[in-house]
Amino acid sequence: MGIATSSVRQNVSFVRDRWSTIIWHRSAPRVVQKAYSSGKESAGWKAWQRHLRARECPVVPAQLLGGGDRVLTWGLAAGEIAELFLPQLVRTDCPRTNAVLQRWLDDTAGNQGKPSEALSALAWCRGLPRLAAVLPANAWWELLAHLLRTVAEADAAGGGGEHAGDGPLIHQLLAGELALTLAYLFPELTVCRERLPQARQALSAGLADLLDDRGLPHARHLDRLRLLLACWTRCHVLGRRLKHGCWHRDADKPYRRFVRSALRLARRDGSHVFSDAATDHSGAELLAAAAAQGGRPEERRLAALLLPGGKKKGGRGADLPAAAVHSEWAATAVLRPDWSSSAPRLTVIYPDTACRIELSCGKDVLWSGPWALDVHVDGAPAVPSSPWTRLCWVSDDDVDYLELELSLGEGLRVQRHMLLARHDRFLLLADAVLAGRAATIQYRGVLPLCPEATWREACETREGTLAGRKPRSMVLPLALPEWLADRRGGELISTSAGLELRQTATGQSLLAPLFFDLDRSRMSKPLTWRQLAVAESHQVQPADVAVGYRVAIGKAQWLIYRSLAAPQSRSLLGYNVRSETLVARFDRQGEVDPLIEIE
């Protein structure tokens, strides 16, 4: 990638070898070039110091985004911020600054494996112009040589591929942003100016390789989304002051889509999905800066809708992009009816055998983390033998629907259903355990409730209420009897692990569904649910062949059906169904109006 490593090392040697005139670009002030060419090191250094102190261009990066060097902490966790050294803290004390620099150089030689270490290198780089006033000449040039060597090593190492942990992020920070910053700050130095093509190539490749065509990163990198966004936003700001920008022109569109994806994955307080909101202090600031600097009017409008302090109306506009999204490549889905800040949002990622899920309603996050699955067949635990895979994605005027499948070996499968009804405002979550043989199936699914979420059980029936700052959802375990006095089938309880649904059945299959009514205006309405008889050829079918449920809340009623054997012509409540899955509402005339039907 970029310029050959041997060439880079040769250029770095020019910096170390007592300031050869070869390092100066023709744009460097003649007084500086002349002073250095005279062979008088002290005169050359003083001329360089005077030039750096007096020049007005380039504008130092800390002034371009506001917030000074705090922008380097965007996306870092609290513990990582503690590891980040910002050199401006000691810039007024020359002996101390030099001592700290030497210690940092010794500690980081050949070691830039963590984001905080890469950002520390970037902090030293951004401080180089002002550090010329307080560091000895040898120390200043040694720091520059170290940073150039770091860029060369990162460029030679590459991004490490899709599965390389923080490798792709480190590559963007060092081979991309650090190289770009050196080229931006020191156009007078040929060795720095020559880093610009390399930086553009690294950043362009990162935007192409780390994002899909919707601007979503792979779920494996989702926890580093904010760090990538911060890196690319800082680069975008520098690029606006460079003749040909910070990346190739065809990378502009992926960056804008990435900004939109970051907004889509932001909570109402600006914190990042699946993050600890208490430690995510800069989320809203970063998103607002990214939307303002790199977004089009669409992204700026979304930022106003979604972030604290912005306009909260107009989230259902036809001119806005779709709020829901799914990417099989990224193993990520967002189920969301519209862009309004109060809209419920279900975020799902499934990069491996774990499926993580988060539900936000307004300002409340009800659960966030792995949707745990524990299945025993005839007393033996079932162990995943492959990652989750997508079976179906539907997003239309009525619903967002995602169906996944997980193999548990020996023909045992789990099919996971997630449906968010746009206008009806309910969420249906269900696991179908398909054993393929007669067995005793024990199922346990756990939704990881957030500490701020509370679960309140009803007194005599099995429904309950999930609440955050305010009550948010009625929860109905459809496969369990409504009345607590009937103890058959399982239980829905709150434990230290979260909201836990347990079911046991004997047969070839089992369906474990939960119905969440997210319409707060219905919370005071009477409710009930019933398991329905499903008939085939006038014979009632057992629950391991097909199941059906009727849910009634106030005047609203819904029908839910799932075939657990091969789909056939069957009927329930006098309605014929041939599909595998049906979710429908009853209209005012009592007719079945399908919301979704999966063949």
Interval 144-161: pLDDT, tens: 999 999 999 999 988 754
Are 575 and 590 spatial neighbours (Cβ–Cβ below 8 Å)?
no
Asked if the bond preceding 448 is cis, omega within 30° of 0, the reply is no
Instruction: Determine the 3-state secondary structure of 302 from DSSP.
Output: helix
Give residue-wise pLDDT tens across range 280-303: 667 889 999 999 987 688 888 898
Task: With CA atoms as reference, report the closest residue to 447 among 373, 513, 518.
Answer: 373
Q: What pLDDT is recorded for position 116? A: 87
Q: Compute how many other C-beta atoms are within 10 angstroms of the C-beta atom of residue 111.
A: 9
Q: What pLDDT is recorded for position 495? A: 95
Query: 291-295 contacts: CB < 8 A, separation 24 or more?
Result: 291/259, 291/263, 293/65, 293/233, 293/236, 293/237, 293/240, 294/232, 294/233, 294/236, 294/255, 294/256, 294/259, 295/256, 295/259, 295/260
pLDDT confidence band for 100 (50 / 70 / 90)? confident
Q: Compute how many other C-beta atoms are within 10 angstroms of the C-beta atom of residue 70.
A: 14
- Indicate the range of 15-24, 185-194, 504-513, 519-528 predicted with least confidence: 15-24
Report percent pLDDT > 70 for the chain: 90
Q: What pLDDT is recorded for position 314? A: 59
Q: What pLDDT is recorded for position 98? A: 87
Which residues, in sequence order, are bridge partners of residue 549? 531, 560
Are 333 and 326 spatial neighbours (Cβ–Cβ below 8 Å)?
yes
Q: What is the dihedral of CA 567, 573, 574, 577, to 10 degrees?
A: -20
Task: With CA atoms as reference, report the closest residue to 598 among 434, 394, 349.
Answer: 394
Quickly tell me which residue has 């259902």 as its tokens: 316
Give residue-wise pLDDT tens across range 305-331: 888 876 656 556 667 889 999 999 999
- Which domains does the chain carry? 5-306 (1.50.10), 331-521 (2.70.98.70)
How far CA 537 is from CA of 339, 542, 568, 569, in Å, comes to: 46, 13, 10, 8
Q: What pLDDT is recorded for position 33? A: 86
Q: Compute how many other C-beta atoms are within 10 angstroms of the C-beta atom of residue 43.
A: 13
Q: How far apart are CA 450 and CA 368, in angstroms?
A: 6
